[in-house]
Amino acid sequence: MKAIVFLSVIFLMTGVRVVYPNSSNAADLIFTHGNIITMDEALPRAEAVAVKSGKIVYVGTSQKVMELAGEYSEVIDLQGLTMIPGIHDAHIHALEAGSEVGGNCWLEAKSLKGLKSQLLSCLKKQKGTDWLLAYGHHLETLLEEAEDPKGLLDSWVSDRPVAVMESTSHSIWVNSRALAAAGIKKNTKDPDGGIIMRYLDGANAGEPNGILLETAGEMVFDLALQPNPTAEAINYEGLQWVMDELPQYGITSIADARVYWKRGWLDVWKKAENNDDLTVRVNLGLWAYPNEEDESQIEFLKKQYRFNPERLMQINQIKIYSDGIIHNTTAALKQPYQLSLYGVPPTGLNYFDEQRLSTYIARLQPSGYDFHIHTIGDRGVHEALNAIEKNYLENPGHRHRLTHVEMIDNEDMPRFAKLNAIADMQVAGDFTLPENHHWQEPYLGERAFHSYRLKDLHDSGAHYVLSSDWTVNDLNPFVGIHNAVSRGRESISVQQALKAYTLGAAYVMRSETRTGSIQTGKEADLVVLDRDILSVPKKAIKESRVLLTLLSGVTTYRAEDFVLE
């Protein structure tokens, strides 16, 4: 039998061994003397948990649990440490975070001069494609400081196509070689859901200026990231890195929010599953390409559906965009922007309009798919709810969700509960905090100060969840929980925020009967923390450290100062 030493506190956590008369009934793993937050309303707190064959077989007292100890049981005395259910992050971008195809070069400089230095240093990292790819600039900086974005990038790198994705992923900065490779010229029409920004005057008036918004940029990245054996190997290596990263934050289940199947990413996920590389439960959201022909795309997606609770990976969600984002002025609004980017319609744009979105739901939900719908503007939210409502009677048990939901009109707030539409909000970024909403004021005016209505969603009776949108925001769920309870009048409680990351999010993944809470019969997806997030000061929540993460009772992460002897 093993004991635990927690080195940073310098004391021995002693396990107590009791031989159970019938060893065949004994637990494999027992935790005692813990502060266990179960997320089970019938038993909110407990001291002990027993695990056998990956399932929770007992939740209760430290004295009673020892009746399940046998000769080979491992007993871990938590000595007051906190245990919670495994975190469910319902919105991450795994391969976008982990893959180094093209260099995966992150630009963090605030000035164009700094960006140039960082981008040039990325040249030696380019691999898996003929393109140099980078991420992380800010569109506002580029528009303010560069009169000729394309010409500036050409002056830095002209011997190969270059595409630099903005930090939010909703715009791309490209050079002339990239435009040529994509066939984008003066007479090229804007694609559905996208804008090719152009020079306004001078000899180049009407020519593309090197900034591509929304789908116009996505199409360029699709070209740059076409599957090939080298790229597949790099993608696979990147996914393995992600699998190591997630358990460090107590994450045991994820929904990948944008699986670009035309880039070979679905095959990479299947390879990881076949090789037993998964360290979390996975729900894949297959990307619905806005500029793909509908009939062939729908038929392809139908064939990919798979849901089997006995497997770690499900292919059961469709990621689809209604609109864009606020600072590109591409989020779909009911009323016009106060300030719009040149070429963008005054109320934003749609990737998929209401009718087309409704058609996709009608065609794909009979296969079992749940929809994960990107909606940021109030019109985007309204139209997505309309599309769900049109198909509601055919599938009232759906788990369709609207993600981001940054702007919700009062008339639409009660419709979430009425239509069983889930609201998935991300607040881990400090830019979402009320004191920082002024950045949207030039675009929205007073509307900027009525966004991210988290408490209003709670009060409306909506089923809501919290997620990261990693890599746009911090992956750390405890940063997200801290920000959820630090929102002034839109704050929710720590208990409510934790539920939104556990049992509430398990519902999105159709696994609430198997995961999301610490209850007898459920999978032993468990996390040990260094503090009780329900009782520490709010500011201390985001400093929480994960000491141990288990998936079905198997250790996927253990902190160095939490060691087995």
User: Do 12 and 5 form a contact (C-beta atoms < 8 A)?
Assistant: yes
pLDDT at res. 113: 83
- Taking Cα atoms as reference points, which of 85, 90, 87, 84 lies closest to residue 533? 84
CATH number of the CATH domain containing 477: 3.20.20.140
CATH number of the CATH domain containing 192: 3.10.310.70
pTM for the predicted model, two decimal places: 0.94
**End of a domain among 192, 224, 256?**
224
CATH number of the CATH domain containing 22: 2.30.40.10
Apex 203 CA angle, 201 and 205, nearest 5: 40
534: left (phi over 0), alpha (psi -120 to 50) or beta: alpha
**Are both 400 and 437 inside the same structural domain?**
yes
515 within some domain: no
Residue 504 to residue 454: CA distance in whole angstroms = 14
**End of a domain among 178, 197, 224?**
224
Rg (CA), the chain: 25
Amino acid identity, residue 394?
E
**Are both 443 and 310 inside the same structural domain?**
yes
Apex 23 CA angle, 17 and 24, nearest 5: 140
pLDDT at res. 299: 98
**Are both 497 and 524 inside the same structural domain?**
no
Sign of CA dihedral 470, 116, 141, 165: negative
**Are both 147 and 256 inside the same structural domain?**
no
User: Do 332 and 380 form a contact (C-beta atoms < 8 A)?
Assistant: yes
Residue 421 to residue 418: CA distance in whole angstroms = 8
**Are both 372 and 464 inside the same structural domain?**
yes
pLDDT at res. 106: 84
- Taking Cα atoms as reference points, which of 438, 487, 432, 428 lies closest to residue 458? 487
DSSP for 161-204 reads -EEEEETTSSEEEE-HHHHHHHT--TTPPPPTTEEEEE--SSTT
**Are both 378 and 293 inside the same structural domain?**
yes
Q: What share of the chain is helix, strand, coil (3-state, %, to 5)?
A: 35, 25, 40
User: Do 490 and 464 form a contact (C-beta atoms < 8 A)?
Assistant: no
Cβ-count burial of 215 within 10 angstroms (0-12 exposed, 13-18 middle, 19+ buried)?
buried
**Are both 195 and 306 inside the same structural domain?**
no
pLDDT at res. 102: 84
**Are both 200 and 270 inside the same structural domain?**
no
**Are both 286 and 398 inside the same structural domain?**
yes
**Are both 371 and 429 inside the same structural domain?**
yes
Residue 73 φ/ψ, nearest 5 degrees: -70, 140
Return the DSSP state at 60. Answer: E
142 within some domain: yes
370 within some domain: yes
**Are both 157 and 216 inside the same structural domain?**
yes
Domain tally, the chain: 3
Using CA atoms of 22, 25, 29, 31 in order, give the dihedral in degrees to the nearest 10.
Answer: -80
Q: Buried b / exposed e across 453-470, counting CB within 10 Å, b at 16+?
A: bbbebbebebbbbbbbbb
Structural domain of residue 71, as residue ranges?
Answer: 4-85+520-564
User: Do 370 and 283 form a contact (C-beta atoms < 8 A)?
Assistant: no
107 within some domain: no
3-state secondary structure of 562: strand
**Are both 41 and 65 inside the same structural domain?**
yes
99 within some domain: no
98 within some domain: no
pLDDT in tens, the chain (565 residues): 344 443 333 333 333 333 444 467 899 999 999 999 999 999 999 999 999 999 999 999 999 999 999 999 999 999 999 999 999 999 999 999 999 998 778 888 778 888 898 999 888 888 999 999 998 878 888 888 778 999 999 999 999 999 999 878 899 999 999 999 999 999 999 999 999 999 998 889 999 999 999 999 999 999 999 999 999 999 999 999 999 999 999 999 999 999 999 999 999 999 999 999 999 999 999 999 999 999 999 999 999 999 999 999 999 999 999 999 999 999 999 999 999 999 999 999 999 999 999 999 999 999 999 999 999 999 999 999 999 999 999 999 999 999 999 999 999 999 999 999 999 999 999 999 999 899 899 999 999 999 999 999 999 999 999 999 998 899 999 999 999 999 999 999 999 999 999 999 999 999 999 999 999 999 999 999 999 999 999 999 999 999 999 999 999 999 999 875 5
113 within some domain: no
Query: 88 to each of 241, 369, 396, 508, how far by Cα in Å?
Result: 18, 19, 24, 10
Q: How far is CA 239 from the centre of its chain?
A: 15
Give helix then strand counts, H and E, for the chain: 19, 27
CA atoms within 13 A of residue 287's CA, in its CB half-sphere:
19
533 within some domain: yes
